[in-house]
Structure 1
Amino acid sequence: MTNPYAHIIEPLDPQKPDHKFFNLKKLKDPRYDQLPFSIRVLLESAVRNCDGFLVKKEDVEKVLNWKVTQSQTVEVPFRPARVILQDFTGVPAVVDFAAMRDAVKKLQGDPEKINPVCPADLVIDHSIQVDFNRKFKLRSFGAGVGGIEAEAVMLGQPISMVLPEVIGYKLQGTPNKYITSTDIVLTVTKHLRQVGVVGKFVEFFGPGVAQLSIADRATIANMCPEFGATAAFFPVDQISIHYLKQTAQGFKGFQVAPERHDVQVSFQFNGAEYSLSHGSVVIAAITSCTNTSNPSVMLGAGLLAQRAVKAGLSVKPYIKTSLSPGSGVVTYYLKESGVMDFLSQLGFEVVGYGCMTCIGNSGPLPESVVEAITQGDLVAAGVLSGNRNFEGRVHPNTRANYLASPPLVIAYAIAGTMRIDFEKEPLAVNSQGKEVFLRDIWPTREEIQAVERQFVIPAMFKEVYEKVEKVNERWNSLKAPSDKLYTWDPNSTYIKSPPFFDGLTRELQTPNSITDAYVLLNLGDSVTTDHISPAGNIARNSAAARYLTSRGLTPREFNSYGSRRGNDAVMARGTFANIRLFNKFINKQAPSTIYLPTEETMDVFDAAEKYQQAGHPLLILSGKEYGSGSSRDWAAKGPFLLGIKAVLAESYERIHRSNLVGMGIIPLEYLPGDSAESLGLTGRERYTVIIPPQITPRMTVDIKLDTGKTFQAKMRFDTDVELTYFHHGGILNYMIRKMSQN
């Protein structure tokens, strides 16, 4: 059918009649003017994509009636106009698409239907690792596009979302002259965490918004996973238009006994003796596009470095320093402004462009440093200008990781410790014996803005981005095969056909109850996707290492989990392989669990494999905020391959819950007031989850234990569309069956 709102289409510019848009004001609906700006974006999408099938007039009405529907758990479809992905989700998507083509072919469908129907952009920023060798080198690995929901979107499937509440966040006043953008961002993040905005939109308004550059706003919006919102929205203003033109605290919680606070461990590095203590900085990274695409904080870091060098300050050589900008433009303006040399003198040399340390690709620390940390059981620290500092993510040997602005990253690197009061204590004593304080070298906002106005100019963006598609001859020379089906290389340890679609038939299978399931892991609160599916180095004693060794690889060739996301054999073995995973079964941090039938302690993968061989389904018990952190498809795919049928938690991170649904894993949620502790669950029970023939969104189900106890939990299928995916065994199965139809 034709779009029922075609009558409100008009030219964007009368002089250019081919550029058209849907003028929502022509709806002449008084409810439109009452909508938050962020909800108007959803409305425009619904109106533009209204086809009477995937998006209906009733959906448009639901959005228009947002003031009522926001509190009614009303579901609407949303069709993104473009998919933007980073490379860690990209390789799995390319592999999935190849495997989906095979599956469609087996069901007598046309495999060429598995092809993106909307624009998809890939940013290669997660596949670079920092290597330590006095000066740093880089390694680049795989590339691609993907993500479980993103794959369906690229194939034309709208996202089903519940119309959210919108929280207004008013900004007013002007920043103190010594405050950086990162300080503002982290303060806003802390405040929103306290308020509680999970699953909501946050819309910023007020006179203070004008004080934030587009880079500042992007930095705040990029912290959405940290405060749990679905979106952080800044309505378009003159600063937005100008940008478009320009671009054509201590150790609490670490359980360190007071008598051990001042432990010192000496070690040798490059022939000199140094010492480490609790809080010693061993990694200092200006990393991640969150901050390094923001000219004000990057130039601020450069100016601070310049003044530090001139004041005779330096960074201890064992501290792993790195600079990985989010864009080549950053390097351009740092050089043009004359501060790059000073950054290099402090060890902050450009090691590549991308997330690196923030994603866990910090690379190895010097062996003598690791030995000192281990010997003293030290809480060593990493400080980074990224947006993720979850436990075990940055580096396995840095138990304390702090987010800071780029200038503060340099300051802490110079100080060599996080245990410093910058107001009262000097950063260091220079070679002349003079104490140098942070205030002596800290640039003001006015000084930074003056340099920014002089050196960050539109021509830089134009020159750098014009080269993007031409500069890499090796990439441009790659030949893409024209075959409809991918030819899998059985010798590859990077790309392997995944078993997700083995045995898939056209006919739906009726979901069965989960009977007598064992608990694979008994976890607590705030289990992150890094705990579930780590991205960093592959430990030499891990199940993944044993697999790679069996394929003839040496430890130097193991690479990282992130680089091997196209190989399900590696990723399944890497699931729950984070050394900081705390499992109540063994009462300590380790990537291990107890195989309950024999009470043996073993790697999580090995235990899961034994359960599967014996035909036992598996569950995971967890506390609050299960799956928090970065969205990671393998944090759902990995548990699926381990045989996990359901997760029982007190609450979920929004995107991870959706990913579990996408893989056919049931997200069960304790009823309000219930928890493993209140119900007396130890995890050693056998669990039977009763799945009724007719399932409705968010319905309550019975769970029976082999002890005779019965309790109830909520099945977190939040929409009818999610239930459809579950009946198909996951969203990718649904898409395969859909694409196989004539």
Structure 2
Amino acid sequence: MASLDSFGARSQLGVGDASYEIYKISQVEGSARLPYSLKILLENLLRTEDGANITADHIRALGSWDPTAEPSVEIQFTPARVLMQDFTGVPCVVDLATMREAVRELGGDATKVNPLAPAELVIDHSVIADLFGRADAFVRNVDLEYQRNQERYQFLRWGQTAFNEFKVVPPGTGIVHQVNIEYLARTIMTRNGVAYPDTVVGTDSHTTMVNGLGVVGWGVGGIEAEAAMLGQPVSMLIPKVVGFKLHGEMPEGTTATDLVLTITEMLRQHGVVGKFVEFYGPGVSAVPLANRATIGNMSPEYGSTVAIFPIDDETVRYLRLTGRPEEQLALVEAYAKEQGLWHDPAAEPEYSERLELDLSTVEPSLAGPKRPQDRVPLLSAKTLFRAALKDYVKAPVPVNVESAGNGVDGKADEASAESFPASDPPAVHAEQRTEDPADKPRDLISAAVGAAGRATNPVTVTLDDGTRFELDHGAVVIAAITSCTNTSNPQVMLGAALLAKKAVDRGLARKPWVKTTLAPGSKVVMDYYERAGLTPYLEKLGFNLVGYGCTTCIGNSGPLLEPISAAINDNDLTAVSVLSGNRNFEGRINPDVKMNYLASPPLVVAYALAGTMDIDLANEPLGNGADGQPVYLRDIWPTALEVEEVMATAIASEMFARDYADVFAGDERWQSLPTPTGDTFDWAADSTYVRKPPYFEGMPAEPAPVSDIAGARVLAKLGDSVTTDHISPAGSIKADSPAGKYLSEHGVDRRDFNSYGSRRGNHEVMVRGTFANIRLRNQLRLPGTGSAAGAALPEGGFTVNHLTGEQTTIYDASVAYQEAGVPLVILAGKEYGSGSSRDWAAKGTMLLGVRAVIAESYERIHRSNLIGMGVLPLQFPTGENAESLGLTGTETFTISGIEALNAGTTPRSVTVSTDTGVTFDAVVRIDTPGEADYYRHGGILRYVLRRMLAS
């Protein structure tokens, strides 16, 4: 539908011999003062103005944006395209296939169900680093990937042929976000003769990586992504925009990882959840595109919706390097300058809030041991590791006690000042737990560090080849160059390879207990490694290619060697992983590993050489060289000049052009997969990977009235910072879990269980794994026999079935409740649902029979996803929580006032009462009229389907 063009914004832009229709932002009064990101949104509204969802008043409201006001004006944003990875993308395609059948059953034309916006899916989450440190690791891992995922891949091949505007990048190509910035992203789009900014929503929260290319985009739930594919705009409030001014230059010895960990810490402390962050100022031009992408990638870790860099010369340079045609480059530059989107280093747009960073103050850093915002200066890493270790071991024995280490400025080291008490503390006995130093205020940090002793429990391990060594607390058992965050960045990737070369030249080797893996973001990385002659040095240290995809960062780290795994578990050792990723939540990386540190790729190599976190890399040697002399990190750390010289000769645009020439075709394995045909999918009755979900079963053409909730029981009572990793099924499937039992009952051997992520297309598996994370701590307690408090539940997916008073799994309890007709609620603390944009965290919650969640606060995407599945997000009154209200989770709840939605209005609050006499008004977190419509219809999918039938 053509825009109503109330502002006369439609115009023409000539670029070379071509002419494009554009919508001029300058036609709206006030637009010149807007931040870059809001100008993009303004153009979006001008181009899609339809008088109903997008009106002239919406456009005027954005033009007259008040940077100091709290967000209150709803707008409808129409993304140019949708991006998916396979874990989150498979459920989207499953739902589209199911929607086709539902349309047919309700008398409509099934073939009308198609993406209306370009949708691209990159298969990158399914490869597991089973084999490592050997020449055939990549081939063997890909073979295993195809064996495990053949049903899913056949289904995706069917989707690619059945749906218009849907493309699939096959396995073994690269990580979705790197493929996005290197190939899929356009920066400026053209369609039907119209030129407009490239914008995107993606089913992975790290979609924000493309912000480095000047593209407005962010992660949404799979549910929202499906609606966007089907032409539904994304409902949002005009956000606050934080201006982040950069100046100066990075000092020698620092990396993009150090910069992004510094920015993450700053923005977490400032508070940017739900806001746009925009980088500006004279320092922007000194930040290479790859570093910009690294910063944008970590946006979910500091909580912003986007973290964007405007278009400038560096943007065009990168587009040229990655093989975009010259016509596209000319269009990007001409359009950006015409529309006032070209970065002016001297400009000072209006911002809601401002931060500033002198790049010269950045220092080498890690983050950990369990949160990406907890930055650890490298100079203090050993000391802070020892302080944190106390939380992870039983009865620590203080030996080699050290006082607080000296930081760069000679003062005692400091940890993050933010306090987000985890709902999933480490698996140690409650009476032996101590406070986490990361949760202490800054003035108490030095005391905690000063008291930190070295807990030790050395265990002798013998590998199958006869290698013997001692393993102790703090041993680095995984060193992984992995994830989209850093493997897109040639500077840090070449830095790691050069460090490996220098280490090998000096006679150093990785420690035999370290699992070393290399999983680049695209094939181009291995191309420039080969061209630079650096691959043999990485392989000498065990960093052989294991796959092109998200491995360690998402829990696909693969198993440790059995003797090492046994030693860790039999002796309750606190093992460590060091990875170049963006996520290090507890229980995420590997079930044998308790402490996880994010680091740059060069530091990953360094810790593989050291083999322990209990080392001061500034003052202690990594080991002895071939000459018997100690070798320090400073001896082998590559200089910026060395890295730049290799980059200049090793990277060329023809590499990108060659590797992406036929990116959707795939290799022989992909092309030889049998492909189903037909407009609707032929569901296999015995499939354990892809099954038809029940979302549309019994759905009437018109929605039933919304009803209040009565007689509800608590399925889980949770604490703060419960992430979607805790809620959504992820990682390996245990044989004795409800999901494992289901697979066994359906004839699947234990060795073929695969991961939850690979089985996201089977709702039966996924609902059984919801709230089953081994680190989840359900605060419900068993009925006491001699004590009112009763016994605590074990960590993991367990609860109390209030109908019987017995301990059971969360899944089995939900089945019992649903058979008895009992609705369920979840009680939670602050930042409920933070982490990746996992639609199954909401889908699984709904399928368990949960009608409402009552939390202190929510992460943006998960709150939206709950509504998208018909689950009501409620918030405790300000300053209150379950504890302050005296809620134990044993109560029976009534929630009244929801029915006001039937009148077309959204109540600001509803009344929650219990059978124990507790009553309070809970804030209704349905934030926009669009979300209210979704909830009235029982979720966004039903809403879209009914709209489709009506049209």
Report TM bin, short chain.
over 0.9
Q: 3-state DSSP class of the match of 2:66?
A: helix
Paired residues in the alignment total 740
Task: Tell me the residue number matched to 1:269.
Answer: 463
Code of the residue aligned with 1:208 in structure 2: it is G
Per the alignment, do residues 58 and 481 of structure 1 end up closer, same or farther by CA in structure 2, a change over 3 Å counting?
Answer: farther
Q: Please, which moves more after superposition, 351-360 or 58-67?
A: 58-67
TM-score by length of 2: 0.76
**Retained in 2: the 8 A contact 1:221–1:231?**
yes
Task: Tell me the residue number matched to 2:933.
Answer: 724
Task: Tell me the residue number matched to 2:196.
Answer: none
Task: Tell me the residue number matched to 1:639.
Answer: 845
Displacement after TM superposition at 1:319 (Å): 1.7
Tell me if 1:660 matches 2:866.
Answer: yes
Q: Please, which moves more after superposition, 369-378 or 169-178?
A: 369-378
Distance 1:446 1:489 in 2: 58
Displacement after TM superposition at 1:127 (Å): 1.1
Q: Please, which moves more after superposition, 557-566 or 110-119?
A: 110-119
Code of the residue aligned with 1:699 in structure 2: it is R
Displacement after TM superposition at 1:70 (Å): 4.8
Distance 1:315 1:112 in 2: 56
Distance 1:493 1:449 in 2: 50
Distance 2:765 2:227 in 1: 24
Per-residue Cα deviation, 1:339-363 (whole angstroms, up to 9, x for no partner):
1111111111111111111111111
Tell me if 1:54 matches 2:84.
Answer: no
**Retained in 2: the 8 A contact 1:591–1:604?**
yes
Per-residue Cα deviation, 1:601-650 (whole angstroms, up to 9, x for no partner):
22221111111111111111111111111110111101111111111111
Task: Tell me the residue number matched to 1:396.
Answer: 591
**Retained in 2: the 8 A contact 1:594–1:607?**
yes
Per the alignment, do residues 40 and 679 of structure 1 end up closer, same or farther by CA in structure 2, a change over 3 Å counting?
Answer: same
Per the alignment, do residues 346 and 157 of structure 1 end up closer, same or farther by CA in structure 2, a change over 3 Å counting?
Answer: same
Tell me if 1:75 matches 2:58.
Answer: no
Code of the residue aligned with 2:932 in structure 1: it is L
Per the alignment, do residues 255 and 210 of structure 1 end up closer, same or farther by CA in structure 2, a change over 3 Å counting?
Answer: same
Task: Tell me the residue number matched to 2:752.
Answer: 557
Task: Tell me the residue number matched to 1:427.
Answer: 622
Code of the residue aligned with 1:616 in structure 2: it is V
Task: Tell me the residue number matched to 1:8.
Answer: 9
Q: 3-state DSSP class of the match of 1:677?
A: coil
Code of the residue aligned with 1:306 in structure 2: it is K
Alignment equivalent of 2:640, drawn from 445, 450, 461: 445
Correspondences of 1:397-546 after superposition (within 5 Å): 397-477=592-672, 481-546=676-741
Correspondences of 1:274-313 after superposition (within 5 Å): 274-313=469-508
Code of the residue aligned with 1:16 in structure 2: it is D
Q: 3-state DSSP class of the match of 2:527?
A: helix
Displacement after TM superposition at 1:16 (Å): 3.5
Distance 1:372 1:685 in 2: 43
Per-residue Cα deviation, 1:148-207 (whole angstroms, up to 9, x for no partner):
100000000000001100001111111111001111111111111111100000000122
**Retained in 2: the 8 A contact 1:132–1:365?**
no
Tell me if 1:149 matches 2:149.
Answer: no
**Retained in 2: the 8 A contact 1:285–1:384?**
yes
Code of the residue aligned with 2:130 in structure 1: it is D
**Retained in 2: the 8 A contact 1:697–1:716?**
no
Displacement after TM superposition at 1:68 (Å): 6.2
**Retained in 1: the 8 A contact 2:461–2:470?**
yes
Correspondences of 1:191-270 after superposition (within 5 Å): 191-247=266-322, 248=324, 249=381, 250-253=385-388, 254-256=391-393, 257-259=395-397, 261-270=455-464
Tell me if 1:681 matches 2:887.
Answer: yes
Code of the residue aligned with 2:681 in structure 1: it is Y
Q: 3-state DSSP class of the match of 1:161?
A: strand
Alignment equivalent of 1:581, drawn from 776, 782, 785: 776
Q: Which runs of 5+ in 1 are unaligned?
A: none
Per the alignment, do residues 16 and 10 of structure 1 end up closer, same or farther by CA in structure 2, a change over 3 Å counting?
Answer: farther
Task: Tell me the residue number matched to 1:595.
Answer: 801
Code of the residue aligned with 1:685 in structure 2: it is E
Task: Tell me the residue number matched to 2:126.
Answer: 127
Task: Tell me the residue number matched to 2:766.
Answer: 571
Q: 3-state DSSP class of the match of 2:585?
A: coil
Distance 2:109 2:25 in 1: 39
Q: 3-state DSSP class of the match of 1:383?
A: strand
Displacement after TM superposition at 1:374 (Å): 1.6
Code of the residue aligned with 1:665 in structure 2: it is V
Identity of aligned residues (%): 51
Q: Which runs of 5+ in 2 are unaligned?
A: 157-167, 169-202, 204-221, 325-380, 399-454, 781-791
**Retained in 2: the 8 A contact 1:267–1:368?**
yes
**Retained in 1: the 8 A contact 2:825–2:850?**
yes
Q: Please, which moves more after superposition, 245-254 or 80-89?
A: 245-254
Distance 1:563 1:42 in 2: 35
Distance 1:488 1:14 in 2: 49
Q: 3-state DSSP class of the match of 1:668?
A: strand
Distance 2:386 2:79 in 1: 43
Alignment equivalent of 1:715, drawn from 906, 924, 946: 924
Code of the residue aligned with 2:926 in structure 1: it is F
Distance 1:469 1:665 in 2: 37
Distance 2:604 2:907 in 1: 45
Q: 3-state DSSP class of the match of 1:84?
A: strand
Q: 3-state DSSP class of the match of 1:578?
A: coil
Task: Tell me the residue number matched to 2:263.
Answer: 188
Task: Tell me the residue number matched to 1:333.
Answer: 528
Q: Please, which moves more after superposition, 534-543 or 398-407?
A: 534-543
Distance 2:821 2:665 in 1: 54
Q: Please, which moves more after superposition, 454-463 or 88-97?
A: 454-463
Displacement after TM superposition at 1:718 (Å): 0.3
Displacement after TM superposition at 1:3 (Å): 2.1
Distance 2:109 2:759 in 1: 29
Tell me if 1:163 matches 2:258.
Answer: no
Displacement after TM superposition at 1:582 (Å): 1.3
Code of the residue aligned with 2:13 in structure 1: it is L
**Retained in 2: the 8 A contact 1:109–1:741?**
no
Q: 3-state DSSP class of the match of 1:582?
A: coil
Code of the residue aligned with 2:925 in structure 1: it is R
Code of the residue aligned with 2:252 in structure 1: it is K
Distance 1:343 1:589 in 2: 39
Q: Please, which moves more after superposition, 274-283 or 1-10?
A: 1-10
Per-residue Cα deviation, 1:500-553 (whole angstroms, up to 9, x for no partner):
111111121111111121111111111111111132111121111100000111
Per-residue Cα deviation, 1:49-99 (whole angstroms, up to 9, x for no partner):
112233222221121121269524111000000111111111101111111
Displacement after TM superposition at 1:244 (Å): 1.1
Task: Tell me the residue number matched to 1:98.
Answer: 97
Task: Tell me the residue number matched to 1:607.
Answer: 813
Per the alignment, do residues 251 and 124 of structure 1 end up closer, same or farther by CA in structure 2, a change over 3 Å counting?
Answer: farther
Displacement after TM superposition at 1:423 (Å): 1.0
**Retained in 2: the 8 A contact 1:527–1:625?**
yes
**Retained in 2: the 8 A contact 1:110–1:739?**
no
**Retained in 2: the 8 A contact 1:664–1:730?**
yes
Distance 1:252 1:661 in 2: 41
Per the alignment, do residues 697 and 200 of structure 1 end up closer, same or farther by CA in structure 2, a change over 3 Å counting?
Answer: farther
**Retained in 2: the 8 A contact 1:516–1:706?**
no
Q: 3-state DSSP class of the match of 2:593?
A: coil
Q: 3-state DSSP class of the match of 2:283?
A: helix
Per-residue Cα deviation, 1:655-712 (whole angstroms, up to 9, x for no partner):
1111111001111111110011111111111111113432344611110101122111
Per-residue Cα deviation, 1:23-52 (whole angstroms, up to 9, x for no partner):
222x0x441111000100100111111122
**Retained in 1: the 8 A contact 2:132–2:516?**
no
**Retained in 1: the 8 A contact 2:130–2:559?**
yes
Distance 1:74 1:225 in 2: 23
Per-residue Cα deviation, 1:428-470 (whole angstroms, up to 9, x for no partner):
2235432111001001122111211121111111111114234
Q: Please, which moves more after superposition, 708-717 or 558-567?
A: 708-717
**Retained in 2: the 8 A contact 1:125–1:326?**
no
Distance 1:709 1:289 in 2: 47
Tell me if 1:626 matches 2:832.
Answer: yes
